[in-house]
A = this chain, B = another copy of it.
Amino acid sequence: MKVIIIGGVAGGASAAARLRRLNEKCDITIFERTNYVSYATCGLPYYIGDIITDEKQLTVQTPTSLFNRFNINVKTSHEVIDIDATKKIVIVKDLINGKVFNESYDKLILSPGAKPIIPSFYKKSERVFTLRTIEDTKKVKSYINSNKVSNAVVIGGGYVGIEIAENLTNLGISVDLVEANNQVLSIFDTDMVSFVHSTLRNNGIKLHLNSHVELLEEINDQMVVKLNNEDLVSDIVIVAVGVTPDTILAEKIGLKQGVKGSIIVNEHMQTSIEDIYAVGDAVMVKNYVTEEDALVPLAGPANKQGRIAADNICGIASSYQGSLGTSILKVFDLNAASTGLNEKTLINKKMNYEKVILSPLAHAGYYPNAKILTLKVLYEKESLRLLGAQVIGYDGVDKRIDVIATAIKSNLKAVDLKDLELAYAPPFSQAKDPVNLAGFIIDNIENNLVKQFYYEDIEKLRQDPNAILLDTRTDFEYSRGHAEGFIHIPLDDLRKRINELDVKKRIYVMCQSGLRSYLATRILVQNGFDAYNFVGGYRLYSSLMSDK
């Protein structure tokens, strides 16, 4: 059996290695357009920032190591320019000498990946960069090393844009980050992402939200980035406005295509043409939660899909079960992670959902360096099905998102989070882990022990003569800052001062994290009040206010 793989990164490399493990005799060839194979796409920004200093570190394997270990032929700088699916041959161009040749296959795996979107304002210049390959990365690095670069404009606040912005900042380069949307990292909700915004700003990055690039110009050895509202001048520009499936071959041969031209595959990673498989960022997957079509260009799914394609070629009927889109990002000292659906999506889909947001310590408060993490969990109202989560903080962010991703994948109900038995010792967690606490809150909501209100309700409540807005933090906390319109009774005084409140009015209670205000609502409700707890606490409120 002769297998040809187009694209030697992540999914393609993973498929090749699994194929060899399953079939020692099969003839495996990878054609890779760039000069590198099996390289660490996710490491590229860190190479620019000198976190990874040795270029060799970026290549997990080389053509030689893949040949020696796996007996795989790797042809780098070889582009497959066409496929004849009837004759089962690929037409290959050697990019070094320009020669074109045919190669036959029994099975073909497409792993073309996703390419950076080139926006209409894009301008070709030695000062303007996109980032996909090691070559792209080396271009940025070599330009910075051999030219005076004191400032940079990064266009696009997605994962790559933010990682580049951080790494350039770490090199002492002043960064303007331009984002057309009202927030960076669209996978997060606006509430949670406010912590990312403040981290970016606190680290000196100038954040330009709601800013559209109208024109890129090169004037006097500098780039001028004309936005709808201002002009930015910089030494270099990085364009990172997202990626789109690289499907030029898929189009040419008439593969069935889905969202953004992506390749449609079945659960065995088979395309619409016999004996052609496809994996990685270019294929359309099912969203695991909604079962809708989705693009999830991430390394984890790509690697799993590569293994599954190889399995099926070798007669093992593995299936890809869809993607949750679990992802994580380090932004300076902050970590931000997400899995499943976000609230924006739930609103768009008009789903009947509930949300909890809490801000507990990531590990025992009495053990050194305990820091707050903020956790948002979304679930479906009647079924209690877990829909998604977002976690932002310092230590233990990755852990909590992975636990919830596992819970979603296992079809646990949202209340079941309270019963998870997670490892506790003071350096690692609290006796009630933040994930358990989320479960307790959900349990309280479902037992009608607490009613919630949200940031988006506050403006209206301020105008409502039948609403009392109450802050139950300490005198000190209240004096340092509080939400407009909120009167103040510290929680520990509430029982003795409860008569100051008008029982005919609805009471909306806020504290710092949401725990003390919950306790206050319990006291109030049992004294005949209609009381509501503010989700996310003053911590979230102030983060959102400062982000306005």
Residue numbers of A with Cβ under 8 A of B are 10, 20-25, 40, 42-43, 46, 51-52, 57-58, 60, 68-71, 288, 298-304, 307, 316, 321, 323-330, 335, 337, 339, 364-368, 396, 398-399, 401-403, 405-407, 409-412, 416, 418-429, 431-433, 436, 440, 447, 449, 491-492, 495, 518-519, 522-523, 526-527
A-B interface, 10 closest residue pairs, ranked by CB to CB distance from nearest: A410-B410, A24-B526, A328-B423, A57-B366, A299-B431, A399-B399, A68-B492, A398-B428, A406-B406, A324-B421
Q: Which residue of B lies closest to A423 (CB)?
A: B328
Is the pair B299, A427 in contact by a Cβ cutoff of 8 Å? no
Given contacts A406-B406, A409-B412, 12 further A-B contacts (CB under 8 A): A10-B431, A40-B426, A42-B425, A43-B367, A304-B418, A330-B427, A339-B421, A402-B422, A402-B423, A403-B403, A410-B411, A410-B416
Residues of B contacting A364 with CB < 8 Å?
40, 42-43
Q: Which residue of B lies closest to A444 (CB)?
A: B21
Which of B21, B398, B522 interacts with A522 by CB under 8 Å? B21
Closest beta carbon of chain B to A9's beta carbon, Å: 11
A328 CA to B25 CA in the complex, in Å? 46
Residues of B contacting A22 with CB < 8 Å?
449, 522
A24 CA to B22 CA in the complex, in Å? 65
Which of B316, B401, B431 interacts with A447 by CB under 8 Å? B316
Is the pair A421, B326 in contact by a Cβ cutoff of 8 Å? yes
A403 CA to B264 CA in the complex, in Å? 31
Given contacts A43-B366, A398-B399, contact A337 B24 (CB under 8 A): no
Residues of B contacting A418 with CB < 8 Å?
304
A326 CA to B403 CA in the complex, in Å? 14
Closest beta carbon of chain B to A504's beta carbon, Å: 19
Residues of B contacting A447 with CB < 8 Å?
316
Closest beta carbon of chain B to A307's beta carbon, Å: 7
A69 CA to B307 CA in the complex, in Å? 56
Closest beta carbon of chain B to A65's beta carbon, Å: 8
Which of B58, B300, B420 interacts with A431 by CB under 8 Å? B300
A339 CA to B424 CA in the complex, in Å? 11
Which of B302, B423, B526 interacts with A405 by CB under 8 Å? B423
A527 CA to B25 CA in the complex, in Å? 9
A51 CA to B326 CA in the complex, in Å? 35
Residues of B contacting A519 with CB < 8 Å?
21, 69-70
Given contacts A368-B51, A412-B410, contact A440 B405 (CB under 8 A): no
A327, A364, A398, A412 pick with most chain B CB within 10 angstroms: A398
Is the pair A423, B440 in contact by a Cβ cutoff of 8 Å? no
Count the copies.
Answer: 2
Residues of B contacting A492 with CB < 8 Å?
68-69
Given contacts A69-B492, A366-B52, contact A303 B40 (CB under 8 A): no
Which of B10, B51, B300 interacts with A422 by CB under 8 Å? B300
Q: Which residue of B lies closest to A300 (CB)?
A: B424
Which of B20, B68, B301, B425 interacts with A421 by CB under 8 Å? B301
Residues of B contacting A527 with CB < 8 Å?
24
A68, A368, A402 pick with most chain B CB within 10 angstroms: A402
Closest beta carbon of chain B to A497's beta carbon, Å: 13
Which of B21, B57, B399 interacts with A402 by CB under 8 Å? B399
Q: List 7 A-B contacts (CB under 8 A).
A: A21-B522, A46-B367, A51-B367, A298-B424, A300-B421, A402-B403, A402-B422
A335 CA to B428 CA in the complex, in Å? 10
Is the pair B425, A405 in contact by a Cβ cutoff of 8 Å? no
Given contacts A364-B40, A366-B58, A421-B288, contact A428 B24 (CB under 8 A): no
A402 CA to B421 CA in the complex, in Å? 8
Residues of B contacting A426 with CB < 8 Å?
40, 42-43, 46
Is the pair B409, A420 in contact by a Cβ cutoff of 8 Å? yes
A523 CA to B71 CA in the complex, in Å? 11
Closest beta carbon of chain B to A301's beta carbon, Å: 7
Is the pair A436, B304 in contact by a Cβ cutoff of 8 Å? yes
Is the pair A432, B300 in contact by a Cβ cutoff of 8 Å? yes
Is the pair A419, B409 in contact by a Cβ cutoff of 8 Å? yes
A324 CA to B405 CA in the complex, in Å? 20
A399 CA to B402 CA in the complex, in Å? 8
Closest beta carbon of chain B to A37's beta carbon, Å: 15
Residues of B contacting A440 with CB < 8 Å?
307
A60 CA to B367 CA in the complex, in Å? 12
A105 CA to B60 CA in the complex, in Å? 68
Residues of B contacting A420 with CB < 8 Å?
402, 405-406, 409
